[in-house]
Structures are given as structure tokens and as C-alpha cells.
A and B are shown apart, each in its own frame.
Chain A
């Protein structure tokens, strides 16, 4: 048990639908990261929060993606108008030492 909780663990959605994932970091960690991982690849950085401030976003984070971290606690990642290419494992991590959650497996059909 790493202490980082992600919900849901699995999500199947139809193309064009919106989906939202939640991450609850370790309570005393002020940094929170979102990553995306596809089969055979390492995790790819999407975005990073320091407390409630979103400090950096990857080019991978298109305008269909939005992330929030209200009050510097849990975070949500929303994907609008999902595409089949969005199918991946979405990972959340919190720091100082990067502890990862179990991830949310998204399948877009």
C-alpha cells in the first residue's frame, strides 16, 4: 500500500464521452503528478501541482485534458471528448519521494 489512492481503477467509455479520474495523495505531500502510460512504454509526464498551483503541463496535455487540485489536497484529471488514442493507464504520484498510485486503466471503445 503506497498511500496514494486512485479512483476508479478501471474505466471503459465510449468515444466522445467525458471521463474524470480522482487522485488522493499522501496527506503531507505537497507535490502531485499525473502521468500516462501505454503498453511497453514508461510513464509519460502530463502535469504537476505544487499544492493547489498547476506549475507545469506537458505538450501531451491537449486542450481536451484538464487537471485541478482544489485546496491542494486531492486532484482530478478530466478528459473531454475521449478518443481511442486516450486509452492508457493514468498514474498519479505524490512527493517528496515520488509514490505512485495503482493507476486508472482507461479503455475508449
Chain B
């Protein structure tokens, strides 16, 4: 199973930028990095996906360095509604494999 390592929890405040780092030392050449967000009692929601360098969409940015052994999800100016669990997945395979994720709590 594809393995990634990310912090179990993080705290932030409204309006701050949050960066969540994920380690994936054994990433394969054809693996993409995908991030999901999950609110309580809901299914995970796709946020962003990338292969290398930087990807940006209306929700977040994803930074992947040249060696691709880690990646950073960046959430600009978080609000209380960004409180959720964030999962980092690696894989070019067809079965998304989740770890425990990072529980982000945004404080007023």
C-alpha cells in the first residue's frame, strides 16, 4: 500500500496561511500526489493533485520539490470552515489509499 507521512494535527487562526507537509520517500516515477479534505460525517472531497513543481487552483496550492519525496499543501487565508481532516495520497495506482490524515483546527 502506498505510504505517506503527515502531521496528525495542526492549529491555525483565521486569516493565516496554512502549510501541511507530507512525506513520501518511496514515491514511484508514475505516482501523482493527491490531497483530500474531509469534514465530519461526510465523504472525502478532492482538493488538488500534482506531479511536480507547483499546482494552484481556487482552493489551494500544491508544492512538490524536484526530488518529489515530499509535498506541501498550502491553504491561503484560512477560515473557520477550513477546519477539517486533510489527507495526502500518493499513487498512480487505481486504488486511493488513505492514512490518518492531518486534523486542522482553525481558531477565531
Contact = CB atoms under 8 A, between A and B. Distances in A.
- Co-complex (A, B): yes
B98 A2 contact: no
A43 B51 CA distance: 23
A103 interface: yes
Chain B interface residue bracket vs A: 10 to 19
B97 A100 contact: no
A106 interface: no
Given A2-B45, A103-B41, A95 B94 contact: yes
B46 to A, nearest CB: 6
Chain A interface residue bracket vs B: 20 to 34
Contacts of A91: 43-44
B45 A100 contact: yes
Interface string B66-87: 0000000000000000000101
Contact of A33 (B41, B96, B99, B101): B96
Given A42-B87, A42-B101, A98 B96 contact: yes
Nearest to A39: B40
Interface of A is mostly: strand
A31 B45 CA distance: 17
A2 B95 contact: no
B41 A105 contact: yes
A40 B98 CA distance: 12
22 contacts: A2-B43, A2-B45, A4-B43, A33-B96, A42-B85, A42-B98, A42-B101, A43-B44, A48-B94, A48-B95, A93-B44, A93-B96, A97-B46, A97-B49, A98-B46, A98-B96, A102-B41, A102-B42, A103-B41, A103-B42, A103-B43, A105-B41
Interface of B: 41-46, 49, 85, 87, 94-101
